[in-house]
Amino acid sequence: MYKKLFVLVAVLTFVLSTVSVGMAQDKEGNKAVADKVTSLVATAKKAIKTVPADAVKKAIDAKEKAIYLDVRDGGEFAAGHLPGAKNISRGTLEFKVAKEIPDTNAKIYVYCKTMGRSALATKTLNDLGYKNAVLMNAKYEDWVKAGYPVER
């Protein structure tokens, strides 16, 4: 009886320690990836032009011939977006942009929820030859908090 109990405790100890080590490694791995993503976004931001949200609002108010590109996912876009915005999610941008925005000289204001996806998207657009793609230097929620117009 004690032998079975000892074996059971030994097996449980082994399993729990293995799982704990795996979880610790996973957290370290996730942090390493998160740090790399943060670095990618920071590098992209250094390489692109940015404009403040109030400049984007002025462009909308002036009916400037421009594209307001929301690179969030469809559900986020449906919940609210800048007036007249076009939605191409960051995950499909490279595959859809040539068809959706054929003019590489178009003025494009790019935004998202946190400026991460939009920074990467703006850099990608510039790399693809879209010379006038700029990052709106504000989070979408900052736009909303400022009382700027939103469409749903």
Between CA 128 and CA 141 the distance in angstroms is: 28
pLDDT at 76: 98
User: What backbone phi and psi angles, to 5 degrees, belong to 144?
Assistant: -65, -45
The helix/strand/coil state of 92 is helix
pLDDT at 27: 59
pLDDT at 17: 46
pLDDT at 5: 47
Indicate whether 138 pLDDT > 80.
yes
